[in-house]
Structure 1
Amino acid sequence: MLFDKYKNKMDKYLLENITFRTITLILSILIAFLVWIIVSRTDSQKVVFMPPKIINQEFWIAGNEVSKTYLHEMGQFVSFNLLNITKENANNNIENLLTLVDSKFYNEVKIKLLQQTNYIIDNAISRTFFVSAIDADTKGLIKVFGVVKDIIGDKVIDSNQQILSINYSINQGRFIINNISIEKEKPNSQKEVKEEK
């Protein structure tokens, strides 16, 4: 009789022990799975710069790769802020561009932008840029083709074809400007770009 009671209690404790261990194992596996989900979701989050205007095209971003439509939007944004300048919006345009500049080149780019802005302000020039084409086929380089017009009062004092070259890198979806250069367009360079497409 005593042995039966002892055996029943022992069986009950063994069953509780096995149940407890099974539940603990299941919960440990579940916690490990949830930690894996959290870590993988945290690593996949990206900070993506969106130009502050209505986006006209769909685009995608995957790791360090972005679609050409996103590069076109960024090319328009940079060219607008760099080459559409009046003395009223000059400082604001500089701030818009500096948010995208790599920290290694920040001071150098800021000095160049301030020099350009001071030239515009000191001479009371309004500069406008009309985009005619954007080439984003080369990785790390966006070329924006268009006409730059310098205006004083209501007279156009200078108008010429220019190419804005934007060297960039993408780091987890973040668009970073490494270098910007402007040069006069050679007569047939835009036609060559269109033929290659």
Structure 2
Amino acid sequence: MKKYYNFWEKIITENRIYQTVIVVLAGVIIAEGVLINSLFKEKQVVILPPKIEKEFWVAGDKLSTSYLEQVAYYIADRVLSVSPLNVDHSFDAILPFLTTDPETIKDIQTSLALQAKKIKDNDIYQVFYPMKFWVDDKRYKMYVEGMLKKMTANTYLGQERVVLELRFTVKNGRLLVTSIEIK
């Protein structure tokens, strides 16, 4: 009987040791999860705009104004400084900045396709000269204001002041344009 009693005590002791180890490991896993979560929120991911002119930063879902400015100027140049020969390539260059939502991207591409057709059909050459940039952080909008000069063949069509409005969201540190409007 003593033999079974010692064996039973040994099993109980091992059981307590394993319970302690399980509790310690569970604590380590929870601590690791908290640490990884805090590091994810604190990490800085650098996503380069096509042309770097100023220093910028990206941290979590927060983007520096200089980053937004550089991306907005790039998109404004691609959308507004076009000719019949480069309009398709120019519009394709902004696709990496567009949202991944199928409905929204379809609307943007339809709008850009109509603009491209108008430029090709009327043989319009236009150049955009940006003058001013501002951001509305609360509404997730960026604006680029400038002069748009238009010509066709050898005829100067004139110039006008336009504002390019870009609506955007930020997901996992990535800027996604959800709307492009020329006003």
Q: Same fold (TM over 0.5)?
A: yes
Of residues 96, 104, 108 in structure 1, which corresponds to 2:93? 96
Greater CA radius of gyration, 1 or 2? 1
1:166-197 CA distances to partner (integer Å, 9 max, x unpaired)?
A: 223334433333332223xxxxxxxxxxxxxx
Map residues 49-60 of structure 1 onto 2, 5 A cutoff: 50-60=48-58
Q: Which residue of 2 aligns with 1:161?
A: 161
TM-score for both structures, normalised by structure 2:
0.72
Bigger drift between 74-83 and 23-32 goes to: 23-32
Q: Is the 8 A contact 2:45 2:59 kept in 1?
A: no
State the shift of 1:158 in Å. 2.2
Q: Which residue of 1 aligns with 2:145?
A: 145
Cα distance per residue 1:37-71 (max 9 Å; x no partner): 45x279648988643222523133443x4332222
Of 71-80 and 7-16, deviating more is 7-16
Correspondence for 1:136: 135
Paired position in structure 2 for 1:181: 181
Write the distance in 2 (CA, Å) between the matches of 1:9 and 1:143. 78
Change (3 A) 1:48 1:108: farther
The one of 71, 83, 86 equivalent to 1:86 is 83
Write the distance in 2 (CA, Å) between the matches of 1:12 and 1:112.
Answer: 76
Structure 1 residue runs of 5 or longer lacking an equivalent are: 184-197
Q: What letter matches 2:143 in structure 1? A: K
- 1:119-162 Cα shifts (integer Å, max 9, x gaps): 22233332211111101145322221111122345664322222
Q: Which amino acid aligns with 1:170?
A: V
Contact 2:54 2:66 in 1 (8 A): no
Task: Tell me the SS of whatever aligns to 1:74.
Answer: helix
2:112 corresponding residue in structure 1:
113
Q: Which runs of 5+ in 2 are unaligned?
A: none
Output the aligned Cα RMSD: 3.7
Number of equivalent positions: 179
Instruction: Give the AA of the match of 1:146.
Output: G
